[in-house]
């Protein structure tokens, strides 16, 4: 039995597994299988299976092989064992996401179908860049995430967008729910040359040359960096925010249950950034505002982040990495030099780590008195800026203005880690899926061995030392 896909539902109460023989649904805590289908049929192969929270509404994409491929989508009511509807798409489905308001279907050719879930009515088709890679062995991985709440924000890299993407036309698609092959005509699309009204510059890039331009186009942003992010409102059918998350390309994105936080990991995997949105006095038709950005330090060695997930109350962010040495806490500068890392992002990350180790000594009493004071923080920052060590390093910085941002936002390190007792002999994009139980434990579902792991999370302590999570139980998904 080969696992095609693993997915938690939106509140992590259930795990859904799709294989080449059948599909199953498991209760997570306590663990147990409660639904199995396709095992006794001639073709029970399933590509994707999704579930709406803990309801009976499930969506399945069968793997029809050479005959139908992955082009058919079926909507079921499991409690009544009833098929609600069936949709056939022009090309293979590579991913699907849903919440209480929207169903999002991604096609391999680079099309995003947006449905009103209450009626399974097609309301929008976005034409983006194709997911098909140059090499046939490459996995067709969708880098995007849909918020579980009713805001229904779709987050994806701006690099996926092209000049023909119909971002600003808010009219719903006319016709039936059955999707035909979409053809965008010039009259159907509103191509906007300037994106100024959507762009939010963070503290890191407020001083960039791009921020000083009068008008900024999609081409300008994509030439500047592959690390720009687009937040698209699937309710009002309009983009709500564009911001730069990384200098490198985007490997993984995740949005929290309340849409208030967006986590991004770059293709280098050294820093995970969390963008916090400000919803105070928010107009539903205007640009979203960024309140601040948190830097989460994974390490200095390059690594591939293949899973990224917030817990239900957005207090914990979990990630998984394909790097075999991911649990190392210290890295020598010689290894960084050999890897040829010389970009601005790497220099600034290293500087941030060095500066916090070189703070001037202060008495414990004085530190305690002013630990929560703005003026205390300003005095400490001034001493750091004026010492000889800092001045020498500042001369080597590509952008000195970024130093100020680093002093105020020290990168945080993870407080807990797990190293799974398994290794992959194959190169693949997916290794595990991450979930968080209501009792505060961490759940991992492995593509490699088909094992469901349950770990106890230690309490966050705010220090630099990381604790190893304790294994509570493990169960096979394939039995």
- Output the six-digit token pair for 103: 């169903």
| Interior angle at CA 289, CA 407 and CA 166, nearest 5 | 125
Q: What is the CA radius of gyration of the chain?
A: 24
Per-residue confidence (pLDDT) for residue 283, from 0 to 100: 66
SS3 string, the chain, reads: CCEEEEEECCCCCEEEEEECCCEEEEECCCCEEEEEECCCCCCCCEEEEEECCCCCEEEEEECCHHHHCCCEEEEEECCCCEEEEEEECCCCEEEEEECCCEEEEEECCCEEEEEECCCCEEEEEEECCCCCCCCCCCCCCCCCEECCCCCCEEEEEHHHCCCCCCCCCCCCCCCCCCCCCCCCCHHHCCCCCCCHHHECCCHHHCCCCHHHCCCCCHHHHHHHCCCEEEEEECCCCEEEEEEECCCCCEEEEEECCCCCEEEEEECCCCEEEEEEEECCCCCCCCCCEEEEEEEEECCCCCCCEEEEEECCCCCCEEEEECCCCCCCCCCCHHHHHHCCCCCHHHHHHHHHHHHHHCCCCCCHHHHHHCCCCHHHHHHHHHHHHHCHHHHHHHCCCCCCCHHHHHHHCCCEECCEECCCCCCCCCCCCCCEEEEECCCCEEEEEECCCCEEEEEECCCCCCCCCCEECEEEEEEECCC
**Domain boundaries defined on the chain:** 345-407
Per-residue confidence (pLDDT) for residue 42, from 0 to 100: 61
Per-residue confidence (pLDDT) for residue 47, from 0 to 100: 95
Q: Is the peptide bond before 153 cis (omega within 30 degrees of 0)?
A: no
Q: Which of 434, 460, 464 is nearest to 446 (CA)?
A: 434
Query: Residue 227, Cβ neighbours under 10 Å: how many?
Result: 22
Per-residue confidence (pLDDT) for residue 237, from 0 to 100: 93
Strand order in the sheet with 121-127: 93-98, 102-107, 111-116, 121-127
| 458/170 Cα distance (integer angstroms) | 46
Length of the chain counted residue by residue = 479
Cβ(114)–Cβ(102) below 8 Å: yes
Per-residue confidence (pLDDT) for residue 375, from 0 to 100: 44
| 288/234 Cα distance (integer angstroms) | 14
| 410/108 Cα distance (integer angstroms) | 40
Per-residue confidence (pLDDT) for residue 304, from 0 to 100: 85
Q: List per-residue pLDDT tens for the chain, 479 residues long.
A: 899 999 999 999 999 999 999 999 999 989 999 999 877 666 689 999 999 999 999 999 999 887 788 999 999 999 888 999 999 999 999 999 999 999 999 999 999 999 999 999 999 999 999 988 655 455 678 999 999 999 999 999 999 999 888 888 877 765 544 544 444 333 344 445 568 889 888 877 777 778 788 888 888 898 998 999 999 999 999 999 999 999 999 999 999 999 999 999 999 888 899 999 987 756 667 889 999 898 888 777 788 888 999 999 888 899 988 764 433 222 222 223 333 333 444 444 444 444 433 334 444 444 444 444 444 444 455 555 556 655 565 555 554 444 444 444 455 667 788 888 776 555 556 789 999 998 888 999 999 899 999 999 887 766 667 788 889 999 999 98
Each residue's pLDDT tens digit, 366-413: 444 444 444 444 445 555 555 665 556 555 555 444 444 444 445 566
Per-residue confidence (pLDDT) for residue 463, from 0 to 100: 62
Going by C-beta distance under 8 Å and a sequence separation of 6 or more, which residues neighbour residue 138?
none
Per-residue confidence (pLDDT) for residue 414, from 0 to 100: 75
Per-residue confidence (pLDDT) for residue 386, from 0 to 100: 57
| 461/26 Cα distance (integer angstroms) | 33
| 471/339 Cα distance (integer angstroms) | 34
Cβ(344)–Cβ(399) below 8 Å: yes
């Amino acid at each position: 039995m080969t696992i095609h896909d693993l997915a938690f539902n939106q509140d992590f109460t259930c795990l859904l597994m799709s294989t080449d023989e059948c599909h199953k649904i498991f209760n997570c805590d306590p663990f147990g299988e409660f639904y199995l289908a396709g095992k006794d049929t001639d073709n029970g192969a399933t590509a994707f299976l999704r579930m709406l929270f803990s309801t009976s509404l499930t969506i399945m994409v069968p793997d029809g092989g050479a005959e139908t491929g992955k082009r058919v989508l079926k909507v079921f009511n499991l409690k009544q064992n009833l098929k609600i509807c069936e949709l056939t798409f022009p090309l293979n489905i590579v991913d699907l996401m849903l919440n209480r308001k929207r169903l999002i279907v991604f096609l391999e050719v680079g099309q995003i179908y947006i449905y009103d879930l209450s009626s399974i009515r097609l309301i929008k088709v976005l034409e983006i860049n194709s997911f098909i890679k140059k090499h046939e062995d490459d996995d067709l991985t969708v880098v995007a995430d849909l918020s579980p709440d009713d805001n229904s924000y779709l987050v994806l890299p701006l690099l996926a967008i092209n000049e023909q993407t119909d971002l600003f036309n808010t009219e719903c698609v006319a016709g039936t729910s059955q999707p035909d092959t979409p053809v965008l005509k010039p009259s159907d699309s509103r191509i906007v040359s300037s994106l100024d009204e959507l762009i939010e510059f963070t503290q890191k890039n407020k001083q960039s040359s791009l921020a000083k331009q009068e008008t900024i186009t999609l081409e300008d942003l994509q030439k500047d960096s592959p690390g720009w992010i687009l937040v698209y409102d699937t309710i009002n059918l309009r983009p709500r925010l564009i911001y730069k998350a990384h200098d490198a390309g985007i490997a993984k994105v995740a949005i929290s249950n309340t849409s208030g936080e967006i986590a991004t990991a770059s293709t280098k995997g050294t820093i995970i950034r969390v963008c916090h949105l400000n919803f105070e006095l928010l107009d539903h038709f205007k640009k979203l505002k960024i309140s601040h950005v948190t830097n989460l330090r994974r390490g200095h060695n390059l690594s591939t982040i293949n899973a990224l997930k917030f817990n239900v109350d957005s207090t914990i962010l979990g990630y998984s990495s394909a790097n075999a040495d991911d649990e190392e806490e210290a890295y020598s500068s010689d290894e960084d030099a050999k890897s040829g890392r010389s970009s601005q992002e790497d220099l600034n990350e290293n500087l941030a780590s060095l500066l916090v180790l070189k703070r001037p000594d202060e008495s414990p009493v004085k530190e305690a008195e002013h630990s929560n004071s703005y003026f205390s923080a300003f005095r400490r920052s001034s001493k750091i800026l004026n010492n000889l060590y800092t001045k020498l390093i500042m001369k080597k910085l590509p952008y000195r203005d970024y130093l100020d941002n680093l002093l105020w936002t020290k990168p945080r390190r993870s407080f807990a880690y797990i190293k799974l007792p398994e290794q992959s002999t194959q190169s693949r994009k997916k290794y595990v899926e991450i979930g968080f139980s209501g009792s505060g434990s961490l759940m991992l579902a492995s593509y490699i061995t088909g094992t469901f792991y349950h770990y106890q999370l230690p309490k966050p302590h705010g220090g630099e030392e990381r604790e190893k999570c304790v294994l509570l139980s493990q169960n096979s998904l394939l039995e």
